[in-house]
Structure 1
Amino acid sequence: MNLFTYLPSAIIISNIIFIILLIFFERRDPTATWGWLLILTLIPVLGFILYLFLGLTPKKRKTFRRKQHIDELKNMSKERKEELLAEVRSNFSKLERNIIRLGFQAKTTALVGYNELKIYTNGSDKFNDLFNDIENAQEFIHVNYYIIQNDKLGDKLINLLAKKAAQGLEVRLLYDKMGCRNLSTHSLNMLEDAGAETAPFAPFILDINYRNHRKNVIIDGQIGYLGGINVGEEYIGHSKRFADWRDTHLRIKGKNVDSMQHRFLLDWNFAYGKELFNEEKYFPPKNINDGSPVQIVSSGPDSKEQIIKSLFLKMIYGAEDNIYIQTPYFIPDQPVLEALKNAARSGIDVKIMIPDRADHPFVYGANHSFVGSLLESGARCFRYTKGFLHSKTISIDERILSIGTTNMDTRSFKLNFEINAFIYDKKVAKEHEEIFNNDLKYSDEITMEDYQNRSWTLKISESISRLLSPIL
């Protein structure tokens, strides 16, 4: 008997099993549950494949259970937290104290320290400084990227890392297997032949839905980089499709580099499968005793708490004057959407900036599907037109700012491993506001009239994308 005769029946039975799992065993957001039920019912064959790779959470729990356990073992002591909370109580405003305390709830949250900060708004400036810092490294270089393209910029990074490894420095490259799918085996072999170590994060195909979206580099334990800029020619504006690439990245020099180092070592230990201990050489003394207070916070599917999302919500609810957000993917869940709407209704100046084009299917429609309700609430939305906007920032009241890898979407909140810097410095927050206002010069405001007169094709795209938004 031909096995293909039974294939449709087998798929239907599998779909029924998945539906039972969804209803009775999976503790999902109800909107995500309904989304998957609809897909499994309407397109059983494709739905079966999609759910196998993108929907199974038992695999996630099993895959990352060991990682969560390792991270918790490295959690800061209760005594150290109490010591830091005492410092927080004396040096920060009530809202800042509340946000910092909430950040401490993360199992591996970083500490509040003092740091010299530099904000980058394009990839060219960031990579000029990054390559210079790598060239001047003396002890070790730890690199973690979501995307490294197999192009001129990617080759330059790989060649520089190989050069430093050949000089005797410790060089480690942690890369996301899915995001770096174009990174050549030749490049990895060249690094390893030079003495560097490499490790893919979540390389198995059933882990495809849970990605290491972090982009952080630590050099000699003194300098750290994090933000939205990956490694590739498009990120420095050399792309016919996107032209100018507008992004935000951060260079940190100071005490919180230890926090970034701690995060890297935890991720490395999980991916490499071999413990790299927190030796003192990775946490050298810092000579900076002034600068910006910063809290490094990471989140991911290995934790039940969506801590970065919770901190965003705390910022939104704590805002008194303004909330400025830049994100390439504006697909918020209901709590975030309602928080923004309520803020706008309260008279707070809420501005959301999104791209005027998409780099992924459905994203453009999904972004716009949430615009209408925000406009009705009094928020203002803008499309950035000078190239592609990939910046991931949120600031309130010219006093608190977050820069990192987290998009304002469900995937970043629930499925990706992310890292953000929360900055409690009016001067730096003011600098970001000036950057935001400059970007407004290259943006078109989406008025209610514009939204109501949008094309029927966009309306269809919005409807489909909104329906799929819980699983995008």
Structure 2
Amino acid sequence: MGDEYLGENPKFGYWRDTHLRVTGTAVSSIQQRLLTDWNAAAAPADRVRWREGYFVEPAEAPGRVALQIAASGPDSEWERIKFGYIKMIDSAQRSVWIQSPYFMPDFAVLDALKIAARSGLDVRLMIPDKPDHLLVYPATLSYADELAQAGARISIYRNGFLHAKTVLVDHEMGSVGTANMDYRSFRLNFEVNAFFYDADLGARLRDIYLDDLTLCTPFDRTTAFGNRYLWAIKESTSRLVSPLL
């Protein structure tokens, strides 16, 4: 946690994020991940053991939103969240809308998005207009430009720092969680995402995206990159080390 998340850091200003409040049986999956992460980080004497009270069946009737909790990290054999992204992108029929503060996908995800864009789908990416890490933003702009060349629409959020990590497919399924579109989130960081399958929730996230779009400007590579000689150095360096960022 930090002051910047409250919009109190003048460098970033307004902090734009997206969260879900989850109730019902899906909470048990989040609870399980919490306990697993706790035990991975805690000293042996501080680790918790299973207790029935940690997993209480909800008293209310089950909800109507189909929800899957996917977690991945250095303790996972499979890159579950990345696989979920690829599955959704490959199954898209009309649109793929993404918000991410960092966009440094590996070849599998980037190729899936390029194929979707080249196939005529409405592929959109929204990224912030300022960096919070020195080398991350040049890499994000570089990968965004590559996706734009495939036909995707790239928007630059101008109302503070965009920290939302959402994927919306066909306005009826998608993902909200902690994972960024980058190597670290796919392979190295402990991350957890909620994958949903619900047209009403999809419509709400669509409307949020469209509201945010009014605070964006279209990506323009000339404006974004500035001095082409200096940019070439930044781009080459940032892309070289992007798997570590």
Q: TM-score range by the shorter chain?
A: over 0.9
Q: Does 1:276 align with 2:48?
A: yes
- Give distance in 2, aligned partners of 1:454 and 1:341: 25
Partner deviation per Cα, 1:377-428 (whole Å, 9 max, x = no partner): 1101111110001111101001112010000000100110100001111100
Which residue among 299, 316, 323 is the counterpart of 2:72? 299
1:277-296 deviation line (CA, Å, top 9, x unaligned): 32221112211323312111
Query: 2:52 is aligned with what amino acid?
Result: E
For 1:352, what is the secondary structure of its paired residue? strand
Structure 2 CA distance for aligned equivalents of residues 430 and 339 of structure 1: 23
Which amino acid in 1 is paired with 2:143? F
The structure with the greater share of residues assigned to helix is 1
Matched, 1:235 2:5: yes
TM-score w.r.t. the length of structure 1 is 0.49
RMSD: 1.6
Q: 1:277 is paired with a residue of what secondary structure?
A: coil
Q: How far, CA to CA, are the matches of 2:227 and 2:19 in structure 1?
A: 35
Offset, 1:448: 5.8
| 2:17 is equivalent to residue 263 of structure 1 | no
Indicate the structure (1 or 2) with the bigger Cα radius of gyration: 1
The secondary structure found in structure 2 opposite 1:391 is coil
Corresponding position of 2:122: 349
Match of 1:335 in 2: 108
Q: Percent identity?
A: 45
What is the correspondence of 1:85-124 to structure 2 with a 5 Å cutoff?
Answer: none
Structure 1 counterpart of 2:187: 414
In 1, Cα distance between equivalents of 2:155 and 2:30: 33
1:256 and 1:295 in contact (8 A); partners too? yes
| In structure 2, distance between residues paired with 1:431 and 1:360 | 31
**Deviation at residue 447 of structure 1 after TM alignment:** 3.9
Who is 2:218 aligned against?
A: 445
- How many pairs were matched up? 241
Asked if structure 2 preserves the Cα contact closer than 8 Å seen for 1:322 and 1:397, the reply is yes
Q: Secondary structure at the match of 1:312?
A: helix
Q: Residues 280-319 of structure 1: CA distance to partner in whole angstroms, max 9, x if unpaired?
A: 2111221132331211110011123111101100111111
SS across alignment from 1:284: coil
Structure 1: distance between partners of 2:237 and 2:40: 37
Give the aligned residue type for 2:178.
Answer: T
Alignment pair present for 1:312 and 2:85: yes
Unaligned runs of 5+ in 2: none
Q: Report whether the alignment pairs 1:285 with 2:57.
A: yes
**Inter-partner Cα distance in structure 2 for 1:239 and 1:458:** 27
**8 Å CA contact 2:113, 2:147 repeated in 1:** yes
In structure 2, the partner of 1:386 is: 159
TM-score (norm 2): 0.93
Q: Name the amino acid aligned to 1:351.
A: R
Structure 1 position 450, deviation (Å): 4.9
Question: Could you tell me which residue of structure 2 aligns to residue 32 of structure 1?
Answer: none
Q: What aligned pairs does 1:359-438 form with structure 2 within 5 A after superposition?
A: 359-438=132-211
Contact in 2 for aligned 1:255/1:288 (Cα 8 Å): no
- 1:455 aligned partner: 227
2:226 & 2:124 partners in 1: Cα distance? 20
| Per-residue CA distance 1:420-466 (angstroms, 9 max, x = gap) | 00111110011001101111111111146656x74323333122111
Does the 8 A contact of 1:375 with 1:447 survive in 2?
Answer: no
Distance 1:250 1:360, change over 3 A: same
Residues 221-255 of structure 1, C-alpha deviations (whole Å, 9 max, x = no match): xxxxxxxxxx2221111111111000111111211
Higher relative contact order (CA 8 A, sep 6+): 2
